Amino acid sequence: MTAAAQIDYRATTIRKIQWRILPFLVVLYIIAFIDRSNIGFAALKMNGDLGISSTQFGIAAGLFTVGYFLFEVPSNLLMRRYGARKWIARILFTWGAVSACTGLVQNYTQLAIVRTVLGIAEAGFFPCVLLYLTYWFPERQRARVVALFMVALPIATLAAGPLSGLILDHIHWGGIASWRWLFILEGAPAVLLGFVALRLLIDNPRGAKWLTEEEKTWLIGVLEAEAHAKVKQHGEISFWKSLSGLRIWLLAFIYYAKSVAVYVLAFYSPQILKGLGQELSNTTVGLLNGLPYAVATVVMVWWARRSDRTGERRWHVAVPLLVAGIALVLMALASGSLWISLALLTVVTAAIYAPYGPFWAMPSLFLTGSSAAVGLAAINSIANLGGFVGPVAFGALKDSTGSIYAGLAFVSMTLVVAAILVVRLRFVKEAEQRMRATMNPALAT
């Protein structure tokens, strides 16, 4: 086989794997993010019905991440034990059922409990998928593949806005409040997709009947060679070091800053838009809320491809975080204009979502095997506490000042600090140099 034919053969193998496993995973993550963030739309009616304040709403919404934090590392370890197919299906069954049960709550306390349980039920899904992708894709394609998977986030918000707005405005079956139907109708698909996952998912390339023996041999050989190179450069990483080492905590803080911004937007942007135009219907708010995420979908894939093409990760994370921080401050200057505020919200959203692919390519530069299972889950679980701190701080600042802009300034400062930190990560810089020394530009297709 000529060199050109070999390059084409390898690229074809990667594309085949992408089309086989990514679309279904994207659908699952769309459902996951809708179920964790639809409380932001439900709040337009739920808060009044249950008599809860902005601070209480922020606590209840953020408690999802507390349950997620406590059970994420154990969940990833159990996936390694039982396999991706069974474990991801289990996660789907439980989170769908709990999400639907949110429509039954009668007071703030019950809401807080259900949100915590929802975090426990869904814990591990995201890092399980990240770990699962390392079983299928070489380092050189990681940023793009992660970004393709994570387009589910902006797509979910793009779809959830109009859908949730329509449910709130038009679904009152059986005299039951529309916000209750919102949780019930949007929670059911996860349970159904759990059965689909049992049939579609394959634990690793060795079990893929749709790959030829030559393709399996090449892919497994590449992945094993990369794992050996990581161990040679960084050494064996123990359980406790992969759980609490300095590199893990530094990456976790950077992702924490992004999580603060993502969850504040997910939980409060419908209320922000409603406050800018009180005459807007819930359906219109849903449509407007989806526009920034349509732009973010395109930007995050393009930015990840650029990161893969150049082999650079740090600046591809830092620059968008800095842009988002600046745009959040500028929103205070545009408080009188719905459309300027929406434009800035679009910049913020696109900039926050752009770093996903490059960021999640960084830990895989030095983590492998069981250390990857623990390390990926640890980074995500620690960082997702930003999903608690962000909404709680934003809600408290809104209640104390009567304005959303103190909360936006808090988010902005967090993002700027993270942007400065990420470019200072020497261990990522060294790993980037190793990757660029061995990368094959012909595979960056």
Mean pLDDT, to the nearest integer, of 437-445? 49
What's the CA angle centered on 277, arms 274 and 280, to 5 degrees? 75
Question: What pLDDT is recorded for position 290?
Answer: 78
326-349: per-residue pLDDT in tens? 998 888 777 677 788 888 889 999
Question: What pLDDT is recorded for position 443?
Answer: 40
How many residues can be counted in the chain? 445
Q: How confident is the model at residue 230 (pLDDT cuts 50, 70, 90)?
A: low
Task: Give the residue with greater pLDDT, 20 vs 392.
Answer: 20
User: What are the backbone dihedrals phi and psi of residue 311, each rounded to the nearest 5 degrees, phi first?
Assistant: 70, 20
Q: How confident is the model at residue 442 (pLDDT cuts 50, 70, 90)?
A: very low
Q: How confident is the model at residue 74 (pLDDT cuts 50, 70, 90)?
A: confident
Does 301 score more than 80 pLDDT?
yes
Rounded CA separation 130/359 (Å): 12
The pLDDT > 70 percentage for the chain reads 89
Nearest CA to 205 among 111, 283, 137, 257?
A: 137
Residue with tokens 């970004």: 147
Nearest CA to 309 among 112, 144, 80?
A: 144
Task: Give the residue with greater pLDDT, 228 vs 351.
Answer: 351
Mean pLDDT, to the nearest integer, of 97-125? 93
Does 421 score more than 50 pLDDT?
yes
Span between the terminal Cα atoms of the chain, in Å: 20
Question: What pLDDT is recorded for position 378?
Answer: 79
Does 374 score more than 70 pLDDT?
yes
195-204: per-residue pLDDT in tens? 999 999 998 8
Does 305 score more than 80 pLDDT?
yes
Question: What pLDDT is recorded for position 318?
Answer: 94
Nearest CA to 61 among 122, 106, 108, 125?
A: 108
Mean pLDDT, to the nearest integer, of 210-233? 82
Task: Give the residue with greater pLDDT, 4 vs 372.
Answer: 372
Question: What pLDDT is recorded for position 6?
Answer: 56
Mean pLDDT, to the nearest integer, of 256-265? 84
Q: Of 120-134, 249-263, 268-282, give the lowest mean pLDDT range.
A: 268-282
> Cα–Cα distances in Å, from 42 out to 45, 46, 296, 392?
6, 6, 23, 17
Residue ranges and CATH numbers for the domains of the chain are 3-443 (1.20.1250.20)
Does 130 score more than 90 pLDDT?
no
Does 296 score more than 70 pLDDT?
yes
Q: How confident is the model at residue 445 (pLDDT cuts 50, 70, 90)?
A: very low
> Cα–Cα distances in Å, from 415 out to 3, 62, 323, 336, 419?
45, 19, 9, 25, 6
Mean pLDDT rounded to a whole number for the chain: 83
Task: Give the residue with greater pLDDT, 97 vs 158.
Answer: 97
Does 82 score more than 90 pLDDT?
no
Q: Of 158-167, 198-207, 215-224, give the lowest mean pLDDT range.
A: 158-167
Does 312 score more than 60 pLDDT?
yes
1-15: per-residue pLDDT in tens? 555 555 566 788 889
Query: Contact, 404 vs 275, CB < 8 A?
Result: yes
344-363: per-residue pLDDT in tens? 889 999 999 899 889 988 88
Residue 346 backbone class (left: φ over 0; alpha: ψ -120 to 50; beta: rest)? alpha
Q: Of 46-60, 150-164, 253-267, give the lowest mean pLDDT range.
A: 150-164
Q: Of 123-127, 369-373, 417-421, 423-427, give the lowest mean pLDDT range.
A: 369-373
Question: What pLDDT is recorded for position 189?
Answer: 94
Does 119 score more than 80 pLDDT?
yes
Does this model's pTM top 0.75? My answer is no
Q: How confident is the model at residue 111 (pLDDT cuts 50, 70, 90)?
A: very high
